[in-house]
Structure 1
Amino acid sequence: MGANYRESRLNYQMITQDDALKAACDAARGAPAIALDTEFVRTRTYYPQLGLIQMYDGDSVVLIDPLSITDWTPFRDLLLDGAVTKYLHAGSEDLEVFLNTFGVLPEPLIDTQILAAFCGRPMSWGFAAMVEEYTGIALDKSESRTDWLARPLTERQCDYAAADVWYLLPIAHKLMAETEASGWLPAALDECRLMQQRRREVVSPSEAWRDISNAWQLRTRQLACLRLLADWRLRKARERDLAVNFVVREEHLWSVARYMPGSMGELDSLGLSGSEIRFHGKTLLGLVSTAQALPEDALPEPLLNLMDMPGYRKAFKEIKALVQDVSKEKGVSAELLASRRQINQLLNAHWGLKASNGVPEMLAGWRGDMMAGKLNTLLDAYPRQG
């Protein structure tokens, strides 16, 4: 009922030409804030394939068809216009789309899912749940997984896409007021900046081996082989715009490093697919040979598994308890203060198990302001062994 009522009165403009895009972006740059969203497809590709951009400046909803636009300069300039706040909801993947397509991230950016988390809502509060709470309208989300690269887009797809930004902008203003009233706005904005920072961090091919599951089980020469294999696979995936597991599956890559085969038959016996062997077999065997010929001093140090570190369970438990105490004292959810990933990142950095980009998240920004001193005192009781 509500969705039908909404669709009947929601007007939008479909933009398929450069001059119309420029006019829409010029108009949006006169607004203090805009709502943005993207629809994309990512099945076999390494990079998300952009299917649609939605924008609402408080006056007009526009749907931008990226398949027919050739000059993106006005939109790129809008993304970088510091006088126009950009609101997204759960925007991490949208940021990846913007970065890969336009080479920039929206500035300044505010994510309404982050604002909501600081206002006591669930950490991964979905857009439909947010709209229902603020408006009472139940959105139809059945179009979310449709093919956004197909043309023409259906009316249902366009209605669905337009509704995302139509509701987002007014709710964003309400959430901003709520977050400011709660005293958490500076922390929320800090968290939005952290989301952008994470998105800017691009894995170097030479470090890709560290992210392979069970790499810690391998000996040093096997690790050297894995390092070569993972470097090659990531470069190939980016070059061909193919998801890494569609180049060679991760478990197969690990098996090649573990057993270091010397023939196509051995690759087959390890369970590699026919297409993996046909397209990449010679390359894989060549990388194995390179690894076998490396001198001892060129081999990487053994990887230590965080979970196997003496004191890991006890340290993790104590950090969780500290987070609970700070959560009660400050009135912010423990889940927002520290995720399992963030606690593990802290311990990995403390014990020197993984090369880290800068300060661990729990010791930086608004989290560091609340917890850094207590955490460092706690960690002093858990020195690196050996």
Structure 2
Amino acid sequence: MMREHFVANESDFLKSCELIAKSNVFGFDTEFVSEESFRPELCLVQVATPEDLFVIDAIAVGSLGAFWDLVTDGKRNVIVHAGREEIRICQHLSGKAPARLFDIQVAAGLIGVGYPAGYGTLVQTFAGTRLSKQETLTDWRIRPLTSDQITYAFDDVRYLLECHEKISARLLELDRIDWAEEEFADLQARSNLDEPIGERWRKVKGTGGFDRKRLAMVREIVAWREEFAAKRNRPPRTILRDDLIADIVKRNPQKAQDILAFRGIQHRDSEEIMAAIQKARALPPDSLPLQDDTKPDAPQVGLIGQVMAGLLGDLCNRKSLVPGLVATSSDLRELVRSKIDNTSLSGNNSLAKGWRLKHVFPVLMDFLEGKTSLRLARVDNESPFEYDDSKPKL
């Protein structure tokens, strides 16, 4: 029976960190609220060691520096599930990334269990327990916490180490520990990499027909919005919606008064938005953003990509992998385009690096180059295709 500790003051928190530090492995999860602030507001941290469970009230305790030191010092394995936000919170609050990270969601995809599998699914698969979903929509800022909320929080990490142990054993059987470490490093890199503010404007919809000057206006307004939101700790969308940005630029206002015609915009904001527009207008031509010159794919790109998705799915069934972790449909289409255009894959393509490049890419390329033919052999089999290594006849 694991000991349970609810931690709501600094003294108990420091004692808990001393207990956690004695273990060579621990798992953790967080509960936070992100809908009303620029950065997530951390409310709880749940921790599991082989002997103890901790629910740490981050609001009551305050600074959790001693815990983040344990996460980042590299002296013990740190287990998470779908840990992108945990990585980002750790990075934001400590200035450092977690060390020796193991994400059971990612690892499950490498043994064919599913990806992205929810925590409840993995607990049911590896611990044989069905978790309650009763508190999934809880506002974790509200105090006091109820007994049901605290139980839910404990359960959120209660089976984390058991799942890790069983998934790790299967990874070892399949000789994929190196694959997993590669995936965890990539997860760290992607989680820590905030999208540059200067590029977020590209996500604003309704700008497809804009010339370069108007695109520059969108870019400058979005940059102002992000900076303003960060200072006020508010979600950017509450400062100025994307659709309003597109509409403002479309009408090409000449003075701040013109911007006030849009509902919900304050006088001070209109002045700053107008300043952003004027900044864009003053840019020289070589500083203006380029228009999207993406050409539509040739019809065969989508068709071949769909066939290759079937091939990838069959390969993953045979090799205890999950297609969604191995490659996206965009990766496959880019592979087809690279063959048609005789170009190299971009560095962002999953198939262009690591274990995928070594073990998956050659199989797909053999098919794409006509070196392997594929036929439907048995519809009642999980791997229904058969392969012929000779060039298919027409």
TM-score, normalized by length of structure 1?
0.83
2:355 is matched with 366
Paired letter, 2:275 = G
> Residues 359 and 154 from structure 1, CA distance in 2 versus in 1: closer, same or farther, beyond 3 angstroms?
same
Describe the SS at the equivalent of 1:160: helix
Paired letter, 1:335 = G
Give the fraction of aligned pairs with identical amino acids, expressed as a percent: 24
Structure 2: 5+ residue stretches without partners: 370-394
Output one character per residue of 1:354-385: Cα deviation in whole Å (capped at 9) or x when no partner. Answer: xx9954333122222234567789999xxxxx
Tell me by how many angstroms 1:144 deviates: 1.9
Describe the SS at the equivalent of 2:14: helix
| Aligned counterpart in structure 1 of residue 86 of structure 2, from 90, 94, 119 | 94
1:66 paired to 2:55: no
Structure 1: 5+ residue stretches without partners: 1-8, 381-386
Q: Give distance in 2, aligned partners of 1:376 and 1:213.
A: 36
Describe the SS at the equivalent of 2:58: coil
1:233 is matched with 225
1:289 is matched with 278
| Aligned counterpart in structure 2 of residue 298 of structure 1, from 287, 302, 326 | 287
1:16 paired to 2:5: no
Q: Give distance in 1, aligned partners of 2:256 and 2:185.
A: 48
1:262 is matched with 254
> Residues 232 and 318 from structure 1, CA distance in 2 versus in 1: closer, same or farther, beyond 3 angstroms?
farther
Describe the SS at the equivalent of 1:151: coil
Aligned Cα RMSD in Å?
3.2
Q: Give distance in 1, aligned partners of 2:368 and 2:211.
A: 29
1:125 paired to 2:117: yes
Tell me by how many angstroms 1:246 deviates: 0.9
2:385 is matched with none
Tell me by how many angstroms 1:224 deviates: 1.1
Q: Give distance in 2, aligned partners of 1:243 and 1:344.
A: 34
Describe the SS at the equivalent of 2:82: coil
Describe the SS at the equivalent of 2:28: strand
> Residues 322 and 36 from structure 1, CA distance in 2 versus in 1: closer, same or farther, beyond 3 angstroms?
same
Describe the SS at the equivalent of 1:106: coil
Describe the SS at the equivalent of 2:173: helix
In our comparison, the structure showing a higher alpha carbon Rg is 2
Q: Give distance in 1, aligned partners of 2:281 and 2:297.
A: 30
Q: Give distance in 2, aligned partners of 1:350 and 1:230.
A: 37
Describe the SS at the equivalent of 1:242: coil
Paired letter, 1:132 = Q
1:250 paired to 2:251: no
TM-score, normalized by length of structure 2?
0.81
Paired letter, 2:157 = V
Higher helix share: 1
2:165 is matched with 173
Deviating 4+ runs (over 6 angstroms): 344-351, 374-380
> Residues 73 and 328 from structure 1, CA distance in 2 versus in 1: closer, same or farther, beyond 3 angstroms?
closer
> Residues 170 and 327 from structure 1, CA distance in 2 versus in 1: closer, same or farther, beyond 3 angstroms?
closer
Paired letter, 2:263 = S
Higher mean C-alpha displacement, 157-166 vs 137-146:
137-146
Paired letter, 1:368 = L
- Figure out how many residues of one structure are paired with residues of the other and give that number: 364
8 Å Cα contact 1:35/1:88 also seen in 2:
yes
> Residues 374 and 178 from structure 1, CA distance in 2 versus in 1: closer, same or farther, beyond 3 angstroms?
closer
